Amino acid sequence: MKVQMLSRRVMQSLLRLQGCSCPSNSRVLSTSRVVLKSEHDKIDDEMKKITEKLGKEFEQSLKDGKTEPEIDKKFMNFKQLSEQKAHERSHIFTWKTVLGTFVVGGSMLLALFYIRKVRVEEAEKQRKLTAGKARIGGDWELQNTDGKLEGSEQLKGNWLLLYFGFTHCPDICPDEIEKMVKVVEQLERDKNPVKILPIFISVDPARDTLKRVKEYCAEFSPKLRGYSGTKEQVNKVAKTFRVYHSEGPKTAPHDYIVDHTVIMYLIDPQGNFHDYYGQNRRAEKRVMAKNPGNSEFVVKVPELNDMKRFTVLKFNNSIKIDPTTWANPECDIRMEREENRVLTSGLAAVQDFGEGTEYGKAAREEARRKKLGRRANQYSIDKQPWRMKINEADGKEKKLHSIREAAGTHADYWLFLKNGEEFHAYKVDDWHGFVPAITHKTLDIDEAEEEFTKRNRVMNQFALRAQILDKMKQKEADEEEEQKKGRKSGLMIKDEHSSSGSEGDDEKDEDGEEKKKKKVKKGAKPRKDKRVKVENSDEVAKYESEDGEDEGREYDYMSDSGSDSDRDIPMEDKVEKALVGVAEEEGLKKLMESDDSSEDDEDDPEKKLLNRKDDDDKKRRIDIEERDSSGSDSEVDDLDKDKLDSVILMPKKGGIMDGGAGTSTGIKRPADDTPKGPEVKKVKEEKEEGLTEEMVRKLLRTKPYTTKELLTKIKARCGGELPKAEMVTKLAAILKAIEPQQFKQKQGRKDVLFFSLSNTI
């Protein structure tokens, strides 16, 4: 404490030092006054004194033995300081002053309240007084719903609650009338019931017939009495009650709204105006204004019904639906459950009756699955989401689908439905949130995948245009091709005939005629166009290089070259070409003739005899072999035939068929594709000439043959034209001429003679 005091004094003295510049402190102020009075030297003296005094004090404190003073915990505790100061200040607010203010304030308030009360009462009185002076209300007469004239005279003795409105009123009138009815009901239910007659007066006599008013009133309460009348009558009544009413803008002759005052008038049994109520006062309040009472309802839980389920359907505001309009009979709402049986059970929907079904298959499947330890999910139709279709009265259609929501576990939801004076409570079983159904087509997963691969592709518009053009041209080209195909095949055959020369000149003439016809046909079409088309077909192939396309192109090329030649080469040239063909044929003929000559040689009787002698034993052997294995060897023959067909003959078919004279394969090949009458005939001719030396040579070169095999081979080649004996003799002769290598080999038990020719020769 000592130290603290000391420090404070130091601070004070320091402040005194700064006195002239810091006038806020009172002590400093006093010193400053002294300073003002005295001279400057006086100040100096004082300064000295102070410094001496301070020095002394400091030394004394040092002498006390404590070089460093103990630091108090509360040293420099500003909070405590401020508290101390606050305490010092607080003595201004004593209990007395507090009491005084309360007394004064309270009395003032009381006075205020009293004045206000008086004023309100006065105002009320004033209001009632002015009303009582018949400025509002008075006698009135109108037609009641039964068509009788009725008015204030007849209704005297009752409290009346009057309301002016019109039956077409969209919102306010029904609300107000409801309120009115409520008020009347509540007042009747009270301990000391007050009977009030609710009265509805129409201000729209043009539209509100008595019948309509009656129906309208019956909707709200049987107690509600409706009144209407002629325009004059209504206007008169409205005037007596100072009710403003006027028809609003007409959109149609019978579609307008009447502006009118929304005020209820309370009339006392004497027929005088008692009070009025505006729109903003609520029914309860209006009742409570008379007598504050509570309403009580019984809450009842009806018998549980397993058959009935309650679902709350939730619609987001963005969907914009209005359930109040749904009651309109023009509005049509359909709802059905989504069919998800296939999805949940993981099985395809199986038909469970009729054709192709097995009895008890499902049960067996289920048993099998159970055996394997799987259990199918139970499918419940009641848990499936809804599909909803709303056809509103104005023709709009909305499609929604729901998402089933999970119910909470800690609380249940109950629906309170008002039923007379009771609330009926039903438990909510399900919740469904509705969202708009997707009506546009969506991609399935595969389609989406495909689209995704195209994501970085840049479209080349030129290429696209070209592609489209090509497609169109291709179509035309295809048609052209078909035409050409037919023509070409015809041409080829005719070339063949002309070159073969077997049928004679008359056919050739015919060909020529046909060619001419073709030419004419071609002439009809512009040449240039044709070329362009060919180019285009190439381009098409460039764009779309499919397998089939290439074939088409090749075909095209061939035919075009043909047609080109047809087109470009004049008639004389063509004739020459035909001549060339003939020449080739002649060469071929020569060869054939040589073969024939050789055959002729063989046919020479002398030679034949010689051959016979030589081959006698051989022939015999053959005969025996044939007899031995007539049945069984046929299989071998077949095999051989197959083999030959497949392995050897197939690739060289043409060559062998030609019987060694097949040099003109180039010309003949196309003919193979289209065997026609005369051509077949020619082949037959060849077959007749088939048994030649050359042919046998060829056969023997391929592999060693027994005589029997050779015979069957030749037989197959030449058909059944030659009689067997003749064939054998012929073969014998040929073999003699060829002089093949002979060797014996064991085949089974027997030794069989094989003939062969080495390829080197």
Partner 1 sequence: MSRKRTRDEVDCEGAKRGVWLVKVPKYLSDIWEANAGSDVGRLNISASNNGKTVVKLKNRQGLIMPDNMEGATAKGGSIPEEHSFIIGDIVNQTMVVLGEDKKGLNEDINIRTGSLSLEGRVVKRAECRPPDSLAYLKMKIGHIEKSGQPKRHIQTIDKAAVKYKPVTMHDEDIARMKQKKEGIKTVRMDKDVLRQNIFMAFEKHEYYRLQDLQQLMNQPASYVKEILQEIAVYNSQPPHKSMWNLKPEYRSYST
Options 170, 278, 356, 395; binder of partner 1; rule CB under 8 A: 356
The site map against partner 1 for 629-668 (x = CB under 8 A) is ----------------------------------------
Residue closer to partner 1 by CB (options 46, 392) is: 392
Provide the angle, in degrees to the nearest 10, between the axes of the packed helices 172-189 and 210-220: 50
User: Please, which of residues 429-488 interact with partner 1 by CB under 8 A?
Assistant: none
Which segment (84-92, 150-158, 404-412, 475-483) binds partner 1 by CB under 8 A? 404-412
Please give the Cα distance from 17 to 564 (Å, whole number).
Answer: 131
Token pair of 701 as six digits: 């070169």
User: Please, which of residues 275-314 interact with partner 1 by CB under 8 A?
Assistant: 284-285, 288, 292, 294-304, 307-314
Annotated binding site for Cu cation: 169, 173, 260
Q: How far is the CB of 331 from partner 1 (least distance, A)?
A: 6
Options 60, 324, 377, 456; binder of partner 1; rule CB under 8 A: 324
Q: Which residues contact 255 (CB under 8 A, 6 or more apart)?
A: none
Cα–chain center distance at 728: 82
Options 39, 171, 232, 355; binder of partner 1; rule CB under 8 A: 355
How many residues at the interface with partner 1, by CB under 8 A? 67
423 near partner 1, rule: CB under 8 A: yes
Q: How far is the CB of 215 from partner 1 (least distance, A)?
A: 16
Residue closer to partner 1 by CB (options 129, 425) is: 425
Residue closer to partner 1 by CB (options 309, 542) is: 309
321 near partner 1, rule: CB under 8 A: yes
Q: How far is the CB of 168 from partner 1 (least distance, A)?
A: 18
Cα–Cα distances in Å, from 234 out to 145, 229, 245, 543, 646? 14, 6, 10, 89, 116
Answer yes or no: are the C-beta atoms of 385 and 338 closer than 8 Å. Answer: yes
Options 194, 417, 464, 647; binder of partner 1; rule CB under 8 A: 417
Q: How far is the CB of 334 from partner 1 (least distance, A)?
A: 4
Q: How far is the CB of 123 from partner 1 (least distance, A)?
A: 22
Please give the Cα distance from 259 to 755 (Å, whole number).
Answer: 129
Residue closer to partner 1 by CB (options 15, 435) is: 435
Options 18, 77, 316, 646; binder of partner 1; rule CB under 8 A: 316
415 near partner 1, rule: CB under 8 A: yes
Please give the Cα distance from 209 to 703 (Å, whole number).
Answer: 122
Angle (CA) 196-197-199 rounded to 5° is 140
Nearest to 490 by CA among 549, 562, 413: 562
Please give the Cα distance from 715 to 719 (Å, whole number).
Answer: 5
Options 40, 418, 528, 749; binder of partner 1; rule CB under 8 A: 418
Q: How far is the CB of 360 from partner 1 (least distance, A)?
A: 6
Q: Which residues contact 9 (CB under 8 A, 6 or more apart)?
A: none
Please give the Cα distance from 511 to 699 (Å, whole number).
Answer: 39
Q: Which residue's entry shows tokens 């309208």?
A: 216
Pairing of strands 225-228, 141-144: antiparallel
336 near partner 1, rule: CB under 8 A: yes
Q: How far is the CB of 274 from partner 1 (least distance, A)?
A: 23
Residue closer to partner 1 by CB (options 191, 457) is: 191
What is Dmax (Cα atoms) for the chain? Answer: 188
Answer yes or no: are the C-beta atoms of 432 and 425 closer than 8 Å. Answer: no
Options 315, 515, 530, 653; binder of partner 1; rule CB under 8 A: 315
Please give the Cα distance from 198 to 359 (Å, whole number).
Answer: 73
Which segment (81-89, 406-414, 479-487, 562-570) binds partner 1 by CB under 8 A? 406-414
Options 122, 188, 219, 412; binder of partner 1; rule CB under 8 A: 412
User: Please, which of residues 245-274 interact with partner 1 by CB under 8 A?
Assistant: none
Provide the angle, in degrees to the nearest 10, between the axes of the packed helices 707-718 and 677-688: 150
Residue closer to partner 1 by CB (options 281, 684) is: 281
Please give the Cα distance from 560 to 578 (Å, whole number).
Answer: 19
**What three-state secondary structure class fits 248?**
coil
331 near partner 1, rule: CB under 8 A: yes
Options 194, 333, 347, 639; binder of partner 1; rule CB under 8 A: 333
The DSSP code for 425 is E
Q: How far is the CB of 363 from partner 1 (least distance, A)?
A: 10
Where do runs of H (alpha helix) occur along 194-247? 210-220, 231-240
428 near partner 1, rule: CB under 8 A: yes
Please give the Cα distance from 94 to 85 (Å, whole number).
Answer: 16
Q: How far is the CB of 259 from partner 1 (least distance, A)?
A: 26
Please give the Cα distance from 388 to 375 (Å, whole number).
Answer: 32
Nearest to 716 by CA among 744, 691, 741: 691
Annotated binding site: 169, 173, 260
Indicate the Cα dihedral angle 69, 71, 74, 76, nearest 10°: 80
Please give the Cα distance from 149 to 210 (Å, whole number).
Answer: 12
Per-position b or e across 662-699, b if 16+ CB within 10 A of its CB: bebeebbebbeeeeeeebeebeeebbebbbbbbbbbbb
Options 27, 337, 620, 681; binder of partner 1; rule CB under 8 A: 337
The DSSP code for 611 is H
Residue closer to partner 1 by CB (options 397, 509) is: 397
Answer yes or no: are the C-beta atoms of 235 and 208 closer than 8 Å. Answer: no
Cα–Cα distances in Å, from 761 out to 518, 740, 741? 51, 11, 12
Q: How far is the CB of 413 from partner 1 (least distance, A)?
A: 6
Residue closer to partner 1 by CB (options 55, 323) is: 323
Options 17, 131, 335, 738; binder of partner 1; rule CB under 8 A: 335
Residue closer to partner 1 by CB (options 91, 418) is: 418
Residue closer to partner 1 by CB (options 176, 204) is: 176
Continuous segment of H or E residues that includes residue 432: strand 430-436
Options 75, 114, 416, 743; binder of partner 1; rule CB under 8 A: 416
Please give the Cα distance from 264 to 162 (Å, whole number).
Answer: 5
326 near partner 1, rule: CB under 8 A: yes
Answer yes or no: are the C-beta atoms of 759 and 701 closer than 8 Å. Answer: yes
Q: How far is the CB of 285 from partner 1 (least distance, A)?
A: 8
427 near partner 1, rule: CB under 8 A: yes
Q: How far is the CB of 376 from partner 1 (least distance, A)?
A: 14
Q: How far is the CB of 414 from partner 1 (least distance, A)?
A: 5
Q: How far is the CB of 294 from partner 1 (least distance, A)?
A: 4
Q: Which residues contact 220 (CB under 8 A, 6 or more apart)?
A: 174, 177, 178, 181
Pairing of strands 273-277, 264-267: antiparallel
User: Please, which of residues 207-236 interact with partner 1 by CB under 8 A?
Assistant: none
Strand segments, DSSP code E, in 519-627 are none
Whats the size of the chain, residue-wise?
761
Which segment (79-87, 184-192, 234-242, 352-360) binds partner 1 by CB under 8 A? 352-360
User: Please, which of residues 362-401 interact with partner 1 by CB under 8 A?
Assistant: 380-382
Which segment (152-160, 348-356, 570-578, 649-657) binds partner 1 by CB under 8 A? 348-356
Q: How far is the CB of 407 from partner 1 (least distance, A)?
A: 11
Which segment (59-67, 247-255, 324-332, 486-494) binds partner 1 by CB under 8 A? 324-332
The binding site for partner 1 (CB under 8 A) comprises: 284-285, 288, 292, 294-304, 307-317, 319, 321-324, 326-328, 331-337, 353-360, 380-382, 409-418, 423, 425-428
